[in-house]
Structure 1
């Protein structure tokens, strides 16, 4: 095996400092350093980790119309969301470039090109030079997430070269959507990063399924969230905790090989860096009998149309 065909990856299964952007950024930076010091060339973080998943939605009657509580919590969320254009990720980019490590980071984006007042569940890819190469906004928020997150677009459905691999990623239940998966396969993806807010119930089956379907390595990385992880100054914390279980998300981060076998079985209930070295030759071996966008496709019968235009309500001429 050549060094070009080997890639060391790290899954950072951590909790956020919930809805505190600056403090969560420091925790992310610490884990990037630790991953790099352990030889990782790619480190991935869970869905919406920065500054945190909207856990209040399921615990505070979030659908109540014109609720002062919901308005205050949403405003707090927007204030802590990430403004990429304002340089919120500049230190992480510098850190990635300094350590020559790629980063997939799940975050809540306050998007300037959509007016700056709505938020998106975004997955950002930073390359080993420290440059942001894609920002994928979740296409379809799931169930109560629609009360906090706006719908994304296809602009971030991209894959990126990383040594011998082509790496792409999706947010949470997007990984259940056949056509976004097919789009990434068609662009040559052979290393898939699936980010989740947490919970082994999400990762234990689909991680292996995607690996088998795509004949790719699949990294599922989840966050942790427990009642002890809520900062005491969180707005309406007493109301949130009335209905919240002690463990809201238990992790479940794992890695599957292109034949569906475990490289790292799901890990739960602990903050941990999961580090493994992947061999690109395993991809080529499994593509021998099945390649979803190559010899086992029929584009003369079925094809996919992908719109990667970044959506906006205004066009300047």
Structure 2
């Protein structure tokens, strides 16, 4: 292998696992163990699923019906709130130490707690760390899907983050954000080479989505999903009854790695925990854009234009009080 080729090829790892639901300590412990396992196999980038800290509460109603919320459901939600993290904060420093010890770029889906005065609203976010442990950025899900909208607030354009690395530019969209054509186009225009798509979608149709996006973006696509069983749910939840009649496997996974021409580097993993590895030849990104570049020679800015508002949206802003 030539020196040039060695610089172009990067090993990545996608984690398919799940923590104990609403258990932040367990989630961070699993981040440490999976990241170390990936690092031992020479991975330089490790991607975790959507809201890995501290779990995707699939199947739970939190006592919500149209027009009403129950006190018991609020208690379940409060446990979720307690297991969230602030960005930056003590928990992000702890995860940064995991990235530093392993010497990897680390991408983790988290439940983020608003750090403003309220500190009550939660967001579905991706956080990025560098191999020196530095927190490099975050992205908040722009549009929570369905009943997720009662759990998480909406992100804004200020967190459409792209991370520069020695092997290419990394950006991410979360789960069904990837069905938002304009969100995808905004990310493509930022020059991404690797698109991470943490998800909770385990359906066959998600695989078609990954392959389509890879071909459309001419990027490598790394999709990470949780493998979830009932055993990971606390049985003392007020609404544990919501999943009593569900199958033991609540999410079968389906994590995968796809190359810029739509072929699997690592085919989908179903019905078990595990690590997927891929040796990505980054030269394939420009090679694949020879005949299609969505924001380059195959775009028509004379016909189509997209405006993206990357301003942080604040409910209340204060001007400094003048002192006389």
Do 1:62 and 1:147's aligned partners in 2 also have CA atoms closer than 8 Å? no
Do 1:200 and 1:266's aligned partners in 2 also have CA atoms closer than 8 Å? no
Do 2:140 and 2:159's aligned partners in 1 also have CA atoms closer than 8 Å? yes
Do 2:62 and 2:239's aligned partners in 1 also have CA atoms closer than 8 Å? no
1:301 CA displacement:
2.3
Q: Which residue of 1 aligns with 2:151?
A: 148
Residue 99 in 1 paired to residue 119 in 2?
A: no
The equivalences for 1:1-317 within 5 A come to 1-57=4-60, 61=64, 63=66, 65-113=68-116, 115-201=118-204, 203-233=206-236, 235-236=237-238, 238-317=240-319
Distance, in Å, in 2 between the alignment partners of 1:102 and 1:202 is: 29
Count of aligned pairs? 316
Do 2:61 and 2:73's aligned partners in 1 also have CA atoms closer than 8 Å? no
Unmatched segments (≥5 aa) in structure 1: none
Do 1:203 and 1:220's aligned partners in 2 also have CA atoms closer than 8 Å? no
Distance, in Å, in 2 between the alignment partners of 1:110 and 1:173 is: 21
Question: Structure 1 residues 293-302 or 51-60, which shifts more?
Answer: 51-60
1:88 CA displacement:
1.1
Find the residue that maps to 1:57 and give its secondary structure.
Answer: coil
**4+ residue segments displaced more than 6 Å:** none
Query: Which entry has the higher C-alpha Rg, 1 or 2?
Result: 2
Do 2:64 and 2:70's aligned partners in 1 also have CA atoms closer than 8 Å? no
Deviations 1:145-203 (A, max 9, x none): 11211111112212112223111101100011111110111010121100112414353
Q: Give the RMSD, CA atoms, in angstroms.
A: 1.8
Distance, in Å, in 2 between the alignment partners of 1:86 and 1:175 is: 28
Q: CA separation of 1:201/1:58 partners in 2, compared to 1, >3 Å: closer, same or farther?
A: farther
Do 1:7 and 1:163's aligned partners in 2 also have CA atoms closer than 8 Å? no
Question: Structure 1 residues 98-107 or 195-204, which shifts more?
Answer: 195-204
Distance, in Å, in 2 between the alignment partners of 1:124 and 1:200 is: 25
1:76 CA displacement:
1.3
Q: CA separation of 1:19/1:57 partners in 2, compared to 1, >3 Å: closer, same or farther?
A: same
Q: CA separation of 1:62/1:201 partners in 2, compared to 1, >3 Å: closer, same or farther?
A: farther
Distance, in Å, in 2 between the alignment partners of 1:75 and 1:62 is: 18
Q: CA separation of 1:265/1:156 partners in 2, compared to 1, >3 Å: closer, same or farther?
A: same
* TM-score (structure 2 length as normaliser): 0.92
Distance, in Å, in 2 between the alignment partners of 1:27 and 1:151 is: 27
Find the residue that maps to 1:222 and give its secondary structure.
Answer: coil
Do 1:198 and 1:223's aligned partners in 2 also have CA atoms closer than 8 Å? no
